[in-house]
A and B are shown apart, each in its own frame.
Chain A
């Protein structure tokens, strides 16, 4: 522990101490918390974590005591949605992540620091870098090297989590097909002018969903603008105690989009969208940046929010039974709950089968399924049980992380070929004959 951190007043300032007092410890959050349900311990419940953060701020327990409870939190924030006293769990969690990050920085080895720098400061915000990774992956897939590697079992020996994720990495589309929309055709009679936020990981691995999103928006009579100057949203940084970089990226995006006059900024990524609508949380209330961030945040909307309010020219019937796995950040942070289901049910032929505990996180949670693979799989297994009860032909998702996790879940249950996984935009595109 560094010296200045030892004083509890400092800790009380850094941790969201005041926010912990809103918790009346009623426990109503317990049934909504995937880690509490999966691990069966109060220390992995929202209520437990809140009390532990409070105790740490009071100096009654050490920062190291927060490590396990906080590290294993998915950050799905389902607890906020059910909380009867509106505890700002997200703020408490983020503050604990930051304090833990600082505490660990002193203990990090040189190589750990170097890896973090490359991932968070260079790779994620840098599309070229991600494209390079993407191209590499594509080559790897096209040359069938992936099959050789998979067969050899080398990866399994290195890390079971990476091995599992490697199996579900989607096919990367060739670079030329990835960015065809620097200039998008303007329609004469447009209802809304919207900018499109692509996201970095999304645009590397699911660029097709971004393409289809923009085409759907045009079909729904929107003028769509694509802004080259945009960068990574910074969500993963924020959740990994890289707040400084998160702030830098937020400022970059705010400045870029401020130059553009538009009604909304649309994205098709539940997780990034949640970071964008909370950009002001990164700044001090009352500051100029806080106000600018707030104005920016209010313009950001998920694609299903906007499409459900416009007229979609649906032409195709889709005769399939569908279940929906909501993105937690779309539900609990962006509060977009009914819209995706309304859109799904608009499509003729579809039988919508809502799964039990639909709002429970699937265990993907950013990079949780990589860093806490075993725990993530426990949560995924709970989820797949309820998925299977609905006997779906297709699982619809609203976020790339959930999407990959669902593919992994289907694979783990041996249901490949029987259950498909699609982003809601892909489903709507099919219904509207957009490709």
Chain B
């Protein structure tokens, strides 16, 4: 149903009118995220308490109005887009609660808290909140929870879901419910916490989270490894991990991204290598020295051209600079960046490289591969111009084929970005008809009126993958 004046009046009774936005300029600026598509909400509410959220959801439930939770809109999969109109619930103002419980090693946070501030606060107690999506300094924890965000440290430390002990949520009926708690061990009933994390706002709306913290490692060390053959870099990843060492990060850059960075910033990277691996180890300083020696040997044994270990923090930052510059460098080529995160089992990395090379040539597209290679979460990025309709069609076909390749190799559509609207058409391909049906039945049980972020995750009959906006 459309948002009528009557509904607006009801909403104004539920939440202060200064936090209800209805101007066109406001509505349009909540119509996008970092993915594709422009979907204008009918109204934006900026709640700052569970009670307000519950009251808003009750109204939405009564009038059958779609309701889409949103953090700071850094999603790469369309998670917060109000594709069916209705209410956008903007949580960005609600950053008021960030409590560290030192004794129980947990943090309790409101949904609008910026992810990196949790880690900053934990640091004061010698603790760490490990999930580190590259948008951590911008994104909200609520958005991270909804999308189950990952990051480079996922390799060793896992992703957002591995650090959630408990949640407070508002259900589709507008009831406030708590799941889990403050304990690491908890087997009382179904694990609703894990079900809700990553459900992209389609099952319930997260209003508070209890997060697990771990002791902060004392030191870190970084090495840059050059490879003449990209296949060798894939083998190096498997060999290092098989040698009993678990690096905190293993990031790779392919030749196209190395060249792009060099053209952009002249860091002095060799442009004749096919791949660079950046390996970070963390732990006790003495153990690190020994492990780094081992990493060096393993890499040289699989045919690395050279290994350079940073001797101090400055050198470490210098090595990481190359990786950081990939994004700005590649958009210099063409402005539109399609960032995919199809993920494969580690052992298939060399094969995936081979297939992507074929796809790149077949569709004649600018495909750059970099990212969290250590956990198989490659980031094939296609650089294009969204104004070039013909090229965009080729890009769409290439992306489809990348998805297919990942699934054929035993991988998944998305490692950390989420399904949202972008990947919904491929769900059946990965899950099968019955698998998808099981998920749908959960959705129907939790949200029978389909008001919570409708149009997400599940494909509508005949829905096709599309990256083109209308002009």
Contact A40:B46 (CB < 8 A) given known A61-B28, A85-B331: yes
- 0/1 interface trace, chain A 29-73, chain B, CB 8 Å (1 if under): 011000000001111010111011001001011100110110000
**Does A346 lie at the interface of the complex (its beta carbon under 8 Å from any beta carbon of B)?**
no
Distance in Å from the Cβ of A18 to the closest Cβ of chain B? 9
Which of B34, B114, B387, B471 lies in contact with A25, CB distance below 8 A? B34
- A41, B331: Cβ atoms closer than 8 Å: no
List chain A residues, Cβ under 8 A from B387: 21
Cα distance A21–B469 when bound, in Å? 12
Flag B28-68 by CB within 8 Å of A: 1 or 0 each: 11111110000000000010000000000000000000000
Q: Report yes or no: B28 in contact with A28, Cβ–Cβ below 8 A.
A: no
User: Distance in Å from the Cβ of B71 to the closest Cβ of chain A?
Assistant: 10
- Judged by a CB distance under 8 angstroms, whether A86 is at the interface is yes
B74 on the A face (CB < 8 A)? yes
B29 and A41 contact, CB distance less than 8 A: yes
Given contacts A22-B335, A27-B34, contact A66 B29 (CB under 8 A): no
A148: interface (CB < 8 Å)? no
| Chain A: minimal CB distance from B141 (Å) | 15
B321 to chain A: which residues have CB within 8 Å?
Answer: none
A25, B21: Cβ atoms closer than 8 Å:
no
Please tell me if A1 contacts chain B, counting CB pairs below 8 Å.
no
Q: Is the interface of B mostly helix, strand, loop or mixed?
A: loop
B25 engages A26 (CB within 8 Å): no
B contact residues, total (Cβ < 8 Å): 35
A362 to B397, CA, bound (A): 49
Asked if A24 lies at the interface with its beta carbon under 8 angstroms from chain B, I say: yes
Interface contact B29-A27, CB-CB below 8 Å: no
Across the interface, do A27 and B138 meet the contact criterion of CB distance under 8 Å? yes
Q: A84 interface residue, CB < 8 Å from B?
A: yes
Report chain A residues within 8 Å CB of B137.
28, 31
- A48 neighbours in B (Cβ, 8 Å): 29
Smallest CB separation, A97 vs chain B (Å): 16
A42 touches B73 (CB 8 A): yes
* B residues 377-407 touching A (CB-CB < 8 Å): 385-387
Pick from A24, A27, A43: contact of B72, CB below 8 A: A27
Q: Contacts of B31 on A, CB cut-off 8 Å?
A: 51
Contact pattern, B 165-181, Cβ under 8 Å of A = 1, otherwise 0: 00000000000000000
* Min CB–CB distance B178 → chain A (angstroms): 28
Residues of B within 8 A of A30 (CB): 72, 138
User: Which residues of chain A come closer than 8 Å to B23, judged between CB atoms?
Assistant: 43, 65, 68
Do A42 and B29 touch (CB < 8 A)? yes
A62 to B24, CA, bound (A): 9
Among B29, B74, B90, point to the contact of A51 (Cβ < 8 A): B29
Evaluate contact between A24 and B34: CB separation under 8 angstroms: yes
Q: Given A25-B33, A42-B73, answer yes or no on A65-B471 (Cβ-Cβ < 8 Å).
A: no
Cβ of B32 and Cβ of A66 under 8 Å apart? no
Task: Verify B32–A25 contact, CB threshold 8 A.
Answer: yes
Nearest A residue to B114 by beta-carbon distance? A31
Interface string of B130-148 (1 = CB under 8 A from A): 0000010111000000000
Other-chain contact of A28, B29, B92, B93, B138 (Cβ < 8 Å) = B138
Taking CB atoms, residues of chain B closer than 8 Å to A28 are 135, 137-138
A318 to chain B, nearest CB (A): 30
Chain B residue at smallest Cβ distance from A83: B328
A52 pairs with B28, CB closer than 8 A: yes
CB distance from A256 to the nearest CB of B (A): 37
The answer, among A21, A43, A86, for a CB contact under 8 Å with B336, is A21
* Contact pattern, B 63-83, Cβ under 8 Å of A = 1, otherwise 0: 000000000111000000000
Q: Which residues of B contact A31 (CB under 8 A)?
A: 114, 137-138
Besides the contacts A41-B26, A42-B26, what 5 more A-B pairs have beta carbons closer than 8 Å?
Answer: A25-B32, A26-B34, A68-B25, A84-B328, A85-B331
7 contacts between A and B (CB under 8 A): A25-B32, A27-B72, A31-B138, A40-B93, A43-B26, A65-B25, A66-B25
